[in-house]
Structure 1
Amino acid sequence: MSLSKSLLLVALATGLLLLIPLVAMQYTAEVNWTFSDFVFGAVVLFGAGSTFVLIARMGSNGTYRVAAGVGVVAGLLLVWANAAVGLVGSEDNPANLLYGGVLAVALLGAFVARFRPLGMSNAMFAAALTYVLVTAIALFVWTPSGEAAEPQVRLLNVLVANGVFAAIWAVAGVLFRRASAVGSAPNRQLA
């Protein structure tokens, strides 16, 4: 499939996904998106879909494409969760800005590796490690508050949720490592 057709499909999928909150707003007051929420959603969803299309075209086997999908989903979840509720404390906590470093490590590593499977694997493992380090730093800077009776429950929730997100990056690393074992050479079909 050509790049333009793939991007058109990403645009259509983005529009269809954004119809979900639009329709939900008609039936419940629980969903209350503003125009800027829809713009943010469109940019993030289309950006993630486009990134997947471009990276997946670099590999020549299915494992590489699945790994690319997992890596892009990890980045999408990072941005969406951080913007929606925050990964440490509320979304207004400045410590959440540190998670931008995880995306920077993943993207910079991918470019340095020239999207080769083994290098992509290393970039995803580096992103997972960065995720863990950022969480530790954020928790050191951020003091959990509220629910004085059980403060460790809130901390445990933060640790478990961030552990799951870090694990998604690691799974992408394992999949890229497997793709390199299969012998996926970069297949640069951008046009």
Structure 2
Amino acid sequence: MSGETVKLVNGQTTLLRTVMWGGAAALLLAPAVAMQFTTEVQWSLYDFALMGVLLAVACGVGELVLRASESLTFRLGAAVAIGTTFVLVVGNLAVGLIGAEDKPANVWVWALVVMAAVGAVVSQFRARGLSRLMLALAAGQGGLAIYARATEQDLPLGVTLIFMAGWLVAAALFDRAAREGQA
């Protein structure tokens, strides 16, 4: 790799790292700021600690991706996959995706999260395997919607489509990275 290429990759990595950790800090600070202006937002110390742990895990995985691949396409695919998983976890913890957060059916959302983690390890974090995993997660998200409908539980179609779109965008990016021979 030439000196110019190394500088470009290092500059890109520094920018991505700054955006990732800066965005995480902003997400953690947003409720604290909102609490100063409205009573609608009421977070406890536990809420901040849990969100801090979730953000640290998401950013930690992001750090691993930045170290594992220099491919911007692969990194974007990983960012979309990590972001989709993060929103899935936070949404399920906060309000529950199937009805309210106390509905037992929400346990099936955790199956998708486990599937994502185990699938990433089994695929050895390779772009081709991750692309297939993202397709399987999109199908699983659709299956969750079918389950909710069959058991007459509330899971808005828009929510399902947003998560499916996240998985499918990540799949397309990983597929492109695989076809380009990157990661």
TM range (shorter): 0.7 to 0.9
CA shift at 1:11, angstroms?
A: 6.0
How many pairs were matched up?
170
Matching residue of 1:45: 55
Q: Which amino acid aligns with 1:106?
A: A
Matching residue of 2:137: 127
CA shift at 1:41, angstroms?
A: 0.8
Paired residues of 2:98 and 2:153 also in contact (CA < 8 A)? no
Partners of 1:16 and 1:43 lie apart in 2 by: 14
Matching residue of 1:172: 170
Matching residue of 1:82: 92
CA shift at 1:23, angstroms?
A: 1.6
Partners of 1:173 and 1:109 lie apart in 2 by: 13
Structure 1 regions of 5+ residues with no counterpart?
145-154, 186-191
Matching residue of 1:33: 43
Matching residue of 2:159: 161
Instruction: Give the 4+ runs in structure 1 shifted more than 3 A.
Output: 6-16
Q: For each residue in 1:83-119, what CA deviation from the matched residue of structure 2 results, as whole angstroms up to 9, or x when unmatched? A: 1121111111111110111111121111111111101
Partners of 2:63 and 2:34 lie apart in 1 by: 29
Superposition TM-score, scaled by structure 2 size? 0.83
Q: For each residue in 1:23-78, what CA deviation from the matched residue of structure 2 results, as whole angstroms up to 9, or x when unmatched? A: 21111101111111111111111111111121232223100000000000010010
Paired residues of 2:127 and 2:177 also in contact (CA < 8 A)? yes
Q: Which protein has greater RCO, CA pairs closer than 8 Å, 6+ apart?
A: 1
Counting aligned pairs with the same residue, the percent is 36
Superposition TM-score, scaled by structure 1 size? 0.80
Q: Which amino acid aligns with 1:174?
A: A
Structure 2 regions of 5+ residues with no counterpart?
1-9, 11-15
Deviates more, 1:57-66 or 1:169-178: 57-66
